[in-house]
Structure 1
Amino acid sequence: MNSLAKITAHGKYVPSKVMTNEDFEKIVETSDEWIQQRTGIKERRITADNEYTSDMSYQAILNLKEKYNVDLTDVDMIINATMTPDYKTPSVAAYVQARLGLKQCGSLDINAACAGFAYGLNIANGLITSGQHKKVLVVGAEALSKITDYKDRNTCILFGDGAAAFLVEYSEDETSFIASSTGTDGEKGKYLYSTDLSNKMFDEDMENPGYIVQNGRGVYKWAVTNVPQVIQNTLSQTEYSIDDLNWFVPHSANARMIEAICKKSGISYDKALMSLQYFGNTSSATIPLAIDLAMEQQKLNKGDLMLLVGFGGGLTYASTLIKWTI
């Protein structure tokens, strides 16, 4: 009997505080017009001082549970994708496990930055199809505002906070997952980093260790050059072509970047699902937030073919081609 992995539910949570482009006009030299033209972002959500990644992850799961009226008592693994954990240890996933009261449940965090959620889905698929687990929660959650330098006009306008979760379950007769690919170009890790113990690795003169530092041009060039190849490599494993895609769900980093990737890949920009306009760049949360938003807008239909591609810090990428099964 085959073990198949199927996406059965999704949910999201974003903080109540909204930070608009006009708010940034008061703290750095910028304008709403400049930000929208270059990024496509109008606003983003910001966590409260006492609100952290584990809080948002938990709330996203509660939203999933409420929307689909699902029983989570038999969840046997939680995967939290994040680069902003509450602590180095215990993991965010462990905090979530405790709050959900799941006694027989594994937990782990993965840090693949903006590619994290796609990695998490691929790991969940592997755990279920190998027979190790049957019910996995995959969460992408970030509190990026807590590591954003609000004096840096080039990066502070980009980032927001939020979380979204998928439930992936064992199935005997239907799978969501078709093909995937992953890769890394670690030599270009200096293009996007947040320092910690080795804060002098990339910048010996850095005054504020812990903040996000980004070479926007370097990341843009890398993504526009490499992501179209990732798309082709993923589809080449299947019988499908670009024209068969109903939706393309890239990491919502920058609307201009996604537009360039679509043009180079031959994908209609109208097929791109994004969450950046109202949530900004939420790193590992952008892809599930975009899908949740599309469901709210009644864009998605069961059976739709969707290609998810996460890319960013590392520099690393992960893709997964799925059939929407909700």
Structure 2
Amino acid sequence: MIVRSQIVGCGSYLPARKVDNAELAARMDTTDDWIVERSGIRQRFIAAEGELTSDLAFNAAERALAAAGIAGSAVDLIVLATATPDHTFPATATKVQRRIGMKHGFAFDLQAVCSGFVYALSVADNFIKSGQVQTALVIGAETFSRILDWNDRTTSVLFGDGAGAVVLRANRGKGSTQDRGILSTHLHSDGTHHDLLYVDGGPSSTQTVGHLRMEGREVFRHAVINLASVVGEALAANDLTAADIDWVVPHQANRRIIEGTAKKLGFPLDRMVVTVDRHANTSAASIPLALTEAVTDGRIKPGQLVLLEAMGGGFTWGSALVRM
């Protein structure tokens, strides 16, 4: 018998304000057709003035805890993946810790941009497998609208705000791929590609927040290659093939990247959970937002095998294989 980290609850939260492509086209040199053709995105949600990343994270966490039937006071660990924290410090996760009534354990932020949720899931999984933690809350939350240059149509139309969360609990398994829980995680980074996707500010460099900058064509090329590779790695590590996977929940960066990855791996698109058209790219929040939607609407069922994959600035990329 071995310890597995089982997902026992999912939750998500989107801000109230929905911004469609027509609204953006009215204030910048772009069109709905251009945005949809380039990315598949039709709308995104934008946090209200004064609505912080911690607010989005807390709402998603509350819904995940309710779905799991677990009180916040029972959580031992919070790992919050975000590239847009409320403050330079303390960790945004500690604000969520306070609001859910968690008095013990520990909470911290993790920064791996769009791969953040997969990284955070891996970290929490290892704490559970080591026996240090029984119940963990893993959150991806972003207010990317705060770091966008709204005069740059090539980047500002691609992103949105939101949060998603899952509750993990230690569960005994037999050590086979039939166990419910996280079967494996696979993480990578390559700092040589920093200048292809980054934010041009920070406390140590400019003492400002800065804006997101991206070389879209190059990011697209690396994304399809890296994502296909890390998905293949997860399958090989578990002696599985694409046919064994019930659902793929990819990072929702761009529909063309999702389609390109599916084609390279031989996954049918109807087994890919796609929300990018409605949520846009919500960075670390995109996978848990999509996962929660598919669990809530009944597409993803208990016992099914789900593959999560993402790539983000750094570059960072990773995958996780989970039996729900």
The TM-score, its normalising length taken from structure 1, stands at 0.94
Counterpart CA distance in 2 for 1:19 and 1:276 is 14
Query: Does structure 1 retain, via aligned residues, the 8 Å contact 2:65–2:167?
Result: no
Change in CA separation of 1:178 and 1:65 when aligned onto 2, cut-off 3 Å: closer
Residue number in structure 1 paired with 2:161: 161
Residue number in structure 2 paired with 1:189: 194
Residue number in structure 1 paired with 2:185: 180
Residue number in structure 1 paired with 2:107: 107
Q: Secondary structure at the match of 1:142?
A: strand
Q: Secondary structure at the match of 1:154?
A: helix
Cα deviation code 1:151-197 (max 9, x no counterpart): 00000100100001100011134541112211111100111111214
Give the AA of the match of 1:79. V
- Give me the CA root mean square deviation: 1.4
Residue number in structure 2 paired with 1:319: 319
Residue number in structure 1 paired with 2:96: 96
Q: Secondary structure at the match of 2:224?
A: helix
Q: Which deviates further from its counterpart, 260-269 or 74-83?
A: 260-269
Residue number in structure 2 paired with 1:29: 29
Residue number in structure 2 paired with 1:143: 143
Counterpart CA distance in 2 for 1:77 and 1:271 is 32
Query: Does structure 2 retain, via aligned residues, the 8 Å contact 1:275–1:287?
Result: no
Query: Does structure 1 retain, via aligned residues, the 8 Å contact 2:118–2:309?
Result: yes
Q: Secondary structure at the match of 2:237?
A: coil
Query: Does structure 2 retain, via aligned residues, the 8 Å contact 1:274–1:287?
Result: no
Query: Does structure 1 retain, via aligned residues, the 8 Å contact 2:4–2:183?
Result: no
Query: Does structure 2 retain, via aligned residues, the 8 Å contact 1:199–1:209?
Result: no
Give the AA of the match of 1:100. I
Residue number in structure 1 paired with 2:299: 299
Cα deviation code 1:107-158 (max 9, x no counterpart): 1100000000011111111000100111100000000001111100000100
Counterpart CA distance in 2 for 1:277 and 1:19 is 12
Give the AA of the match of 1:113. V
Tell me by how many angstroms 1:199 deviates.
Answer: 4.4
Change in CA separation of 1:9 and 1:25 when aligned onto 2, cut-off 3 Å: same
Query: Does structure 2 retain, via aligned residues, the 8 Å contact 1:138–1:166?
Result: yes
Q: Number of aligned pairs? A: 317
Query: Does structure 2 retain, via aligned residues, the 8 Å contact 1:193–1:313?
Result: yes
Residue number in structure 2 paired with 1:204: none
Counterpart CA distance in 1 for 2:198 and 2:273 is 26
Aligned identity (percent) is 36
Tell me by how many angstroms 1:250 deviates.
Answer: 1.3
Does residue 290 (structure 1) correspond to residue 296 (structure 2)? The answer is no
Counterpart CA distance in 1 for 2:38 and 2:308 is 23
The TM-score, its normalising length taken from structure 2, stands at 0.94
Cα deviation code 1:225-256 (max 9, x no counterpart): 22111111111111210111111111100001
Structure 1: tracts of 5 or more residues without a match: 201-207
Structure 2: tracts of 5 or more residues without a match: 174-178
